[in-house]
Structure 1
Amino acid sequence: MECLLCPDKGGSIARLTLHGPDGPVDLLRPATGWALQHGSAVDMGCFPLVPFSNRIAAGRFDFDGRTVELPLNMSGCPHAIHGDGWQADWSVAERTDWAARLVLRHGGQGWPWRYRAVQDIALEGDGLTVVLDVTNEDDRPMPAGIGLHPYLPKPPGTRLSARVGGVWMNDATLLPRDRAALPEEWRFPDGVVMDRTVLDNGFTGWDGRATLDWPGRGLRLTMTADGPFGHLVIYAPPGEDYLCVEPVSHMTDAVNRGQEVDAGLRVLAPGESLRGTMRLTLSPLRG
């Protein structure tokens, strides 16, 4: 198993490849040579979402008696998106042949709280484990959320299964509009072939396990997540050979959705941390 990290591109994983007897198998969409030279985190194989996941409406919210206005940090998007860790340089605090620790110290610019984020990334014989941790280093309470944004290969016939309870339907700007039962074409607990599926939605009630079956390769990729990861974002853009299955701790725009009982937003006291783990495991596809 081989993993290429790009700390200077948002603490990203650029490639994750199993070198087996039948040749190499990419568990994540591999970054191209151009992306490694000129791209950003969104051109990599996986990047961290910290200190929040997905979108905050117009980059604006009220918290603890103050109004916060964040930079709109992606071209063409009318919202703040994915936190700011994905656009920062991370440092390599530790490294061995099979593991690395990446660290980000945020000083309060943009996101107006100081925090420390850590990724512990470790190779295993059949996959990879990522532990993501964020600690409030400010002297005030801080709203917080975490997630991971893996880009997964989608060869023809790819089947995604995930035990989720419901879905947030979006408005025209991809913010949650209303909660709904799973439509027939998105019944991921029963498995959905993703060849023609197009979506960018948040799902509720996730149990922390998802599988991606690649029948043409005879392989299954299993994602397991623990800690606060009770929400799942699935992004399947049209015409692409990848999809994203993102374990996240809260719904989209959670800082503006205090009325939702399961929005998932945490408030960290000074010195308090939030931690979650994602593991990707490759195995033969049986049956």
Structure 2
Amino acid sequence: MIRTGTVIALRHGPMTLTAAPHCGGSLASWSLSGSGGPVELFRRASDRALEGDFAPDMACFPLVPFSNRIGGGRFVFQGREVVLATDPGSPHRIHGHGWSNPWSVEARTDDALRMGFSHRADDWPWSYRAVQTVALDGEGLTVALDLFNESDSDMPAGLGLHPYFVKTPGTRVTADVRSVWENDDTILPYRNRPVPAAWDFRHGVTMDHPVLDNGFTGWTGSATLERPQERLRLTMLADGPVGHLIVYAPAGEPYLCLEPVTHMTDALNRQQEPGAGVITLPPGERLSMTVRFLVSLI
């Protein structure tokens, strides 16, 4: 159980980041101090959230060793059938292991933190180790994820981040994406199509009304979120094999998620799809991604 006292604070200039390693390796807040008080860049975890251990109540959490959903918790990889326990309230397995397990603190400075998580083979029949490094600097926040296959056989591997951005009236999102997956009633993709005009992030979309929980393909690794009321711009830059962007914008909520991920939803059951993003990680090898969040004024 996470307690407020276990939250770690990092600072660099006017920026403050708090992390809750024992709650899924999560970040609890990221803010910028100003004359009128702190400006929240990520949705801040509530005091109630900090007393629990549910990562989706936090500001950002890592996705390892896969992101989003595996349909029915079942797939076949290199002839091996894998059956995973499904998540409560869902017919699928969601977001891997990192978000629902504690991470250990491996190193810390005033403005940086390294956390680690190890998984031993169980219904996911591969052992692996994950490392997450977060650091503040004069331009913003960097989050780096590394995944190491510690098994003696190839492992299907994926990485991602699940940040919750503050959404104020008039918030506008721009991203270079090529197509979108339509979902069924259980949020599994069933049809890929060109991005409709209402979701055409290439030309910018004001997010006051769109309701989304969809995967976008052909992403070039750059997305911008602008909050005109505060003259604030956040630019997200992903480095690594990160060609997919999940946009989650629930109705009536003051936040939205732009999730940089290495593969499409249910990729392990869609391995024949062009660009599905399934990565085969050999024994002893590493998969890495880095995401920069840059802060500027409009």
Q: Does 1:196 align with 2:209?
A: yes
| TM-score computed with the length of structure 2 as normaliser | 0.94
- Using the TM superposition, name which of 32-41 and 49-58 deviates more: 32-41
Q: Are the equivalent residues in 1 in contact too, given 2:199–2:205 (CA < 8 A)?
A: yes
Supply the distance in 1 between the matched residues of 2:60 and 2:52 (Cα, whole angstroms). 16
Supply the distance in 2 between the matched residues of 1:31 and 1:54 (Cα, whole angstroms). 21
Q: Does 1:40 align with 2:84?
A: no
How many pairs were matched up?
A: 284
| Structure 1 partner of 2:129 | 116
Alignment of 1:167-206 (within 5 A): 167-206=180-219
| Structure 2 partner of 1:71 | 85
Partner deviation per Cα, 1:165-201 (whole Å, 9 max, x = no partner): 1101111111111110011110100000000100100
SS for the counterpart of 1:30 is coil
Partner deviation per Cα, 1:266-286 (whole Å, 9 max, x = no partner): 01110011100111111001x
| Structure 2 partner of 1:17 | 31
Supply the distance in 2 between the matched residues of 1:20 and 1:103 (Cα, whole angstroms). 33
Q: Are the equivalent residues in 1 in contact too, given 2:102–2:117 (CA < 8 A)?
A: yes
Q: Does 1:57 align with 2:61?
A: no
- Amino acid aligned to 1:199: L
| TM-score computed with the length of structure 1 as normaliser | 0.97
| Structure 2 partner of 1:140 | 153
Cα distance, 1:126 vs structure 2 = 3.1
Q: Does 1:98 align with 2:127?
A: no
RMSD: 0.9
Structure 1: any 5+ residue segments left out of the alignment? Answer: none
Q: Percent identity?
A: 57
Divergent runs of 4+, >6 A? none
Q: Does 1:273 align with 2:298?
A: no
Supply the distance in 2 between the matched residues of 1:31 and 1:117 (Cα, whole angstroms). 23
Q: Are the equivalent residues in 2 in contact too, given 1:167–1:180 (CA < 8 A)?
A: yes
Structure 2: any 5+ residue segments left out of the alignment? Answer: 1-14
Q: Equivalent of 1:264, from 256, 263, 277?
A: 277
- Amino acid aligned to 2:229: G
Q: Are the equivalent residues in 1 in contact too, given 2:82–2:123 (CA < 8 A)?
A: no
Q: Does 1:228 align with 2:233?
A: no
